[in-house]
Amino acid sequence: MPGSNTLRGKIAVIGIGQSEVGKVPGMSPLALAASAAGRAVADAGIAKQDIDGVLSCHAFASPFHRFSVAFSEYFGIQPTFSNTLQVSGATAATMFNIAAAAIHGGLAETVMVVGADSLMTGLTPDLALRSMTESRDQQYEMPYGIPVANTFAMTAHRHMKEYGTTSEQLAQVAVTTRQHASRTPGAQQTKPITVEDVLNSGWVTTPYHKLDCSLISDGGAAFILTSAERAKSLGIEKPIYVLGGGECYQHEHIFLMPSLTVTGTVESSRRAYKMAGFGPKDMDVAGVYDCFTGTTLMMLEDLGFCPKGEGGPFVADGGMTYGGTIPVNTHGGLLSFAHSGMPGALFHFHEVISQLRGTCGERQVADANVGIVHNIGAGFSTNATTILGTEATL
């Protein structure tokens, strides 16, 4: 049995919640996190005092070094297990993986995974750029002012050179996710766009135009995880189970990345697939980190949805939407739904879990039973994968 001595099927997600996203004035990261957390508690049907573990991520607009502790105080709970994680864009999936491990290992019974930030209203443009630049290496990168976008642009350039990937193919990622966002209530950007719109949206850093880049947003999300046994005892109608998880950390500095076109996603997803007992062809829906269009394209290759180098044609031919190989970011992703920094990938979890619950209305993927969420960060230096499924997958 795959994962017989692992986490497979032993941990369930019993509650989910999102705050408003986009431009949410007057709400701090703590307030946004509490809004999402309150909805997750109500969704689970438990009392907030039942939560004995909290995992959160850093918020740029709220300089708490111990955000999980500050959140607990703000929300009115006193957990006995708590941590604030920071592996950039991969933090969301690591929080899910660690929450599952903590419950399985007896460190906590009910863990809340929560994150929020107010990048749009809580930071000035100068402070936002500074925070992105200062996340780079202080000796080799920060003195030259290299922001995050330039780091990811290097990998896209290399992919275009090695495989003939075109700007039009990159743009199609943005067009597809915008189509998905148009079906999603509360999405930050829903106006339809074309490939030409993307190419004419102005340069940010070649080969990325403005619409090739993710949004700047306020917002947060929260999730409640507990053991499968407790989920059953609570009478949860449709718990979603953690089937597999994996991570990989190949490098810290972009100039030491082993390959600019093959990432640690290959290894993190291999581990997750092995634990879950499923492969790429078994996935019904996916949440794939899309800070830039080229990032998504490369992840689709490294996750095994198409061969290396064929991500461009795969996307152009409709491979990442309804009726294609794998519906990806059906809420609109970071490119169109919202991107509030490190918490942004939690929106991918909210969408995939909602799809597995069958509650997505007109954007529902038919017969969705198993889904994958993959996060990356810091110029592909951090990679984390989580596979989730319904009871039918156990």
- 156-208 pLDDT, tens digit per residue, is 999 999 999 999 999 999 999 999 999 999 999 999 999 999 999 999 999 99
Domains of the chain are 11-123+217-233 (3.40.47.10), 146-214+242-393 (3.40.47.10)
Is the pTM above the cut of 0.85? yes
Average pLDDT of the chain to the nearest whole number = 95
305-331 b/e (C-beta count within 10 Å ≥ 16 → b): bbebbbbbebbbeebbbeeebbbbbbb
- 354-391 pLDDT, tens digit per residue, is 999 999 999 999 999 999 999 999 889 999 999 999 99
What CA–CA distances, in Å, run from 346 to 163, 194, 386?
31, 27, 12
Omega before residue 207 within 30° of 0, cis: yes
- 91-118 pLDDT, tens digit per residue, is 999 999 999 999 999 999 999 999 999 9
